[in-house]
Amino acid sequence: MHNKTLAQLSHALHAKEISSVELTQHFLNRISRFDEQLNSFITVTPERALEQARAADQRLQSGTAGFLTGIPLAQKDIFCTLGVKTSCGSKMLDNFISPYNATTVEKLDAAGMVMLGKTNMDEFAMGSSNETSFYGAVKNPWDLKAVPGGSSGGSAAAVAARLAPVATGTDTGGSIRQPAALCGITGIKPTYGRVSRYGMIAFASSLDQGGPMTRNAEDAAYLLKEMAGFDLRDSTSVDSPVPDYVASLNDSLEGLRIGLPKEFFSKDLNSEMAQTLETAIKELEKLGAIVKEVSLPNSHLAIPVYYVVAPAECSSNLSRFDGVRFGYRCENPKDLSDLYKRSRGEGFGSEVKRRIMIGTYALSAGYYDAYYLKAQQIRRLISEDYKKAFEEVDIIAAPTSPTPAFNLGEKTDDPVTMYLSDIYTIAVNLAGIPALSMPAGFINQRPVGLQLMGNYFSEAKLLNVAHRFQKETDWHLQTPNGF
């Protein structure tokens, strides 16, 4: 049952081959059986889940069920969930029970989906290995010595190990795509503004975007269709109709122009990775795609720009965690200043503090122009690069991550090396365009992802290409041993 895709499960539910309660119980059982090894969930919510499952079964009985009704899912612990602990992977919010639902939670609840629980993540989504979580690292189901990637590492590991059919993630600099690649699943970061950020705890507001993490592109299309849409409560969400991502999945790729940025396929890319991706791209050529080289001349500036913009925004976004109204408060503060310093000092982990420090510095009087303003200018250049490239090609293919999953602890002492693991994903967030990662092979039994980037609001095209690829390949059908 757990090997079925979302689409298959929906058919089974509608055909009454299984009830949502049975399905939900099955996944809850798998979580209790396997998650001790993976640590992919921070909170499991069996009671809430079974209640939703019972309601879903009623809808299925009465014929008012939608396609997603009764399907279990896991929500990243960054989405505020009414009455449920929403920790964002931090000690700061270990005691935080959200008094409201994020739009994503509200929408998926309304669709009749069943939330199994909240998945582990890097603290406040800051990390590329899921090792900064207050709740401990998540293990990669393909190799328990390896990281699952981050920051949506819990969601990626849970879907890969089939502890949940699908999950949500968020992506500020690669946090959906990189863990999707490292865990061998499909994940899409939509166009900035496509999915509401309301109730999604902010890391870097101008970059954050929620999206689905699934076993294949078809499931992602179903889930994204439900998550996407304008939200009055998010001024940066975009008021344009949501296309039927499922309807175009089988469109022909004949004549599709795929650009390969020469900056990404340079000699810096390790040869095994290059070979694996080349093979995958050949597969797309067989489907009728035409491949040509493009240039993204400013892509080497993406990491430095990102590490000014994202920390700057986070330094301000995280000011609200002050020990006054909610979240962690230190014991016996002497005075106001002591309350602030110790609550924040004790409540935040070191990576979060590092970024708050960098961001505060970048915004300081006398440095603002040289850092933040300059970074914003370069950000526009990076967007221009993509705009130009999309005049020549329909989509761009790139590695998702420079390497397959690395080992736990391998990069924790060296933040800059850790930051470089997002070198191929970050520019997409700076430009605000959509991109997905799909399974494209293995190196040393660890999954490899191919990234597909598209122009604004081209999610349907990206999912179409991924789906056609997945009809010809079986990388996405591989499952890790032992789960």
Partner 1 sequence: MEWETVIGLEIHAQLATKSKIFSGASTAYGALPNTQACTVDLGFPGVLPVLNSEAVRMACKFGLAIGAGISSRSVFARKNYFYPDLPKGYQISQYELPIVQKGQLDIEVEGEIKTIGITRAHLEEDAGKSLHEDFHGMSGIDLNRAGTPLIEIVSEPDMRSAKEAIAYMKKIHALVKYLEICDGNMQEGSFRCDANVSVRRKGESKFGTRAELKNLNSFRFVEKAINIEVERQIDLLESGKQVIQETRLYDPDKNETRSMRSKEEANDYRYFPDPDLLPVILDENFLAQVKTTLPELPDAKKQRFISQYGLSTYDAEFLTDTRDLATYFEKVVETLKADPKLAANWVMGDLSSFLNKQNLEISQSPVSAEMLAGMLGKILDNTISGKIAKQIFEAMWNGEGTAEQIIEKQGLKQVTDTSAIETLIDEIIAQYPQQLADYRSGKDKLFGFFVGQAMKASKGKANPTQLNDLLKKKLA
- Give the residue numbers marked as catalytic: 76, 151, 175
Using CB under 8 A, which residues numbered 382 to 421 contact partner 1? Answer: none
CA 196 to chain centroid, in Å, comes to: 14
**Type of residue numbered 289:** A
Judged by beta carbon, residue 20 or residue 170, the one nearer partner 1 is: 170
Binding mask 144-183 for partner 1 (x = CB under 8 A): ----------------------------------------
Q: Is 147 helix (H, G, I), strand (E, B) or coil?
A: coil
Q: Which of 84, 147, 201, 427 binds partner 1 (CB under 8 A)?
A: 201
Write down the least CB distance from residue 337 to partner 1, Å.
9
364 binds partner 1 (CB under 8 A): yes
Inter-residue contact 36 to 157 (CB < 8 Å): no
Q: Which of 372, 390, 406, 457 binds partner 1 (CB under 8 A)?
A: 372
Q: What is the Cα–Cα distance from 335 to 298, expressed in whole angstroms?
A: 48
Q: Which of 205, 270, 275, 478 binds partner 1 (CB under 8 A)?
A: 205
Inter-residue contact 162 to 425 (CB < 8 Å): no
Q: Which of 336, 357, 381, 477 binds partner 1 (CB under 8 A)?
A: 336
Q: Other CB atoms closer than 10 Å to residue 222's CB: what's the count?
A: 24
Inter-residue contact 128 to 414 (CB < 8 Å): no
Q: What is the Cα–Cα distance from 262 to 422, expressed in whole angstroms?
A: 17
**Type of residue numbered 73:** L
Tokens of 226: 């439900």
235 binds partner 1 (CB under 8 A): yes
Q: Which of 202, 217, 296, 405 binds partner 1 (CB under 8 A)?
A: 202
Stretch that binds partner 1, among 156-164, 321-329, 429-437, 442-450 (CB under 8 A): 321-329
328 binds partner 1 (CB under 8 A): no
3 binds partner 1 (CB under 8 A): no
For residue 278, the surrounding DSSP H or E stretch is helix 271-286
Judged by beta carbon, residue 329 or residue 476, the one nearer partner 1 is: 329
Total of chain residues touching partner 1, rule CB under 8 A:
45
Residue with the two structure tokens 């029970």: 97
200 binds partner 1 (CB under 8 A): yes
The CA-atom distances, in angstroms, between 29 and each of 20, 227, 249 are: 14, 27, 33
Write down the least CB distance from residue 331 to partner 1, Å.
16
Write down the least CB distance from residue 314 to partner 1, Å.
11
42 binds partner 1 (CB under 8 A): no
Euclidean distance between the first and final Cα of the chain, in Å?
A: 13
Q: What is the Cα–Cα distance from 452 to 298, expressed in whole angstroms?
A: 19
Q: Is 201 helix (H, G, I), strand (E, B) or coil?
A: coil
450 binds partner 1 (CB under 8 A): no
Inter-residue contact 53 to 70 (CB < 8 Å): yes
Q: Is 140 helix (H, G, I), strand (E, B) or coil?
A: strand
DSSP annotation of 149: -
Q: Which of 13, 21, 73, 80 binds partner 1 (CB under 8 A)?
A: 80
- Any idea what the Cα angle at residue 221 is, between residues 216 and 222, rounded to 5°? 105
Write down the least CB distance from residue 363 to partner 1, Å.
4
Binding mask 342-361 for partner 1 (x = CB under 8 A): ------------------x-
431 binds partner 1 (CB under 8 A): no
The residues, ordered by sequence, that sit 6+ positions from 454 with a Cβ below 8 Å of its Cβ are 390, 394, 395, 396, 433, 434, 435, 461, 462
Residue-wise burial string across 121-155, b where 16 or more C-beta atoms lie within 10 A, e elsewhere: bbbbbbbbbbbbbbbebbbbbbbeebbbbbbbbbb
Write down the least CB distance from residue 319 to partner 1, Å.
2
CA 110 to chain centroid, in Å, comes to: 22
313 binds partner 1 (CB under 8 A): yes
Stretch that binds partner 1, among 7-15, 210-218, 234-242, 280-288 (CB under 8 A): 234-242
Residue with the two structure tokens 């929620």: 210
Write down the least CB distance from residue 320 to partner 1, Å.
4
230 binds partner 1 (CB under 8 A): no
340 binds partner 1 (CB under 8 A): yes
Residue among 375, 361, 193, 400 at smallest CA distance from 302: 375
Judged by beta carbon, residue 129 or residue 151, the one nearer partner 1 is: 151
Write down the least CB distance from residue 204 to partner 1, Å.
8
Write down the least CB distance from residue 206 to partner 1, Å.
4
Report the interface residues with partner 1, using CB under 8 A: 79-80, 86, 88, 93, 96, 98-100, 102, 197-202, 204-206, 232-236, 312-313, 315-316, 318-322, 324-327, 336, 340, 360, 363-365, 368, 372
